Amino acid sequence: MSNITKWDSKDGEFRRQVSSFRSFVEADPSAEFPAEAGRYHLYVSLACPWAHRTLIVRKLKGLEGVIGVSVVHYLLGPNGWKFASPEDVPGATLDTVNGAEYIRDIYLKAEPEYSARYTVPVLWDKKKNTIVSNESSEIIRMFNTAFDGIVDPEYRGITFYPEDLRKDIDEINEWIYDTINNGVYKTGFATAQEAYEKHCVPLFESLERVEKILSGNEFLLGSRMTEADIRLFTTIVRFDPVYHGHFKCNLKQIATGYPNILRWTREFYQLPGIKDTVNMEHIKKHYYMSHTQINPTKVVPLSNGPDLESPSIKPASRPY
């Protein structure tokens, strides 16, 4: 069994596992995994920024009645993510599809010989009893278009990966993923000073780059909110309450050091439905109570970061 709480390599570096399940749901009825209402189920943690991406697109594309969701406990223990009743852990759920106790049970049901990490999100096919994908970047692409023939008319045609911006989205995703999305983890899970500094400095160089972009743009690529914004938001909303202190990403805070990123974060958070996907209790308790090699006391700081509800910031025009 993989040691899910062993984060670093021998050289003190954190190296993220490559996702193992990489199939696609498609609009084509003859596809291996055709888009159908009620067929697919999403397993997430409200704490996880990668899973958070999928919840945002599920919300914005009107897929809540099409794709079910189960939410794990915020604690990540030696056996991985565990399901819990909402009575025991508000915001969590039991697994009503497979009756699993842990996310690992889902993986082993799909692939009995699976031995890598049991990560979230997981997109499950209830007909074939298998995992379609555990790669968040590809799940959000499926949610973006594959179900357009099923969702209510008001959601059809909404795209966060428009053809005319795909090259730009891919380019900005690449460096934001490496130095910011994953950069906070490479910084925070480093167990050697050299490894820590190697990733902390580029992280803040990229935040300065984003700050400059947002000094002239409403969103990362102009007036339209895209997949690039979604992927960045889930890291930034966790930055001050978690990554700044817990992961030692402490050269600056979003609240005091990046006025344009803060404005953008507020505007994104205030878009309809986004706030419903943010559970700061799960976020903070997960990081501060699960990573005992970093925080052995499990004491959770009080701050939730900057107030994202005020002041009110309205998009200049419909952003998507």
Distance (Å, whole) CA 39 – CA 132? 11
Q: How far apart are CA 242 and CA 121, in angstroms?
A: 20
According to DSSP, the β-strands at 68-77 and 130-133 are unpaired
Indicate which residues carry an active-site annotation. Answer: 48
pLDDT value of residue 307: 98
- pTM for the model stands at 0.94
* 255-264 contact pairs (CB < 8 A, 24+): 255/305, 255/306, 258/207, 258/210, 258/211, 259/211, 260/211, 260/212, 260/214, 260/215, 261/207, 261/210, 261/211, 261/214, 261/236, 262/306, 263/214, 263/313, 264/214, 264/218, 264/219, 264/229
pLDDT at res. 318: 86
Q: Which of 30, 25, 57, 55 is nearest to 147 (CA)?
A: 25
Residue 260 one-letter amino acid:
N
Q: Quick one: three-class SS letters along 265-287?
A: HHHHHCCCCCHHHCCHHHHHHHH
Give the list of residues 6+ apart from residue 80 with CB closer than 8 angstroms, or none: 4, 102, 103, 104, 117, 118
The answer to whether 81 touches 95, Cβ cutoff 8 Å, is no
Ramachandran region of residue 222, left (φ > 0), alpha (ψ -120 to 50) or beta? left
- pLDDT by 10s per residue, the chain, length 320: 444 555 556 677 877 676 689 999 999 999 999 999 999 999 999 999 999 999 999 999 999 999 999 999 999 999 999 999 999 999 999 999 999 999 999 999 999 999 999 999 999 999 999 999 999 999 999 999 999 999 999 999 999 999 999 999 999 999 999 999 999 999 999 999 999 999 999 999 999 999 999 999 999 999 999 999 999 999 999 999 999 999 999 999 999 999 999 999 999 999 999 999 999 999 999 999 999 999 999 999 999 999 999 999 999 898 99
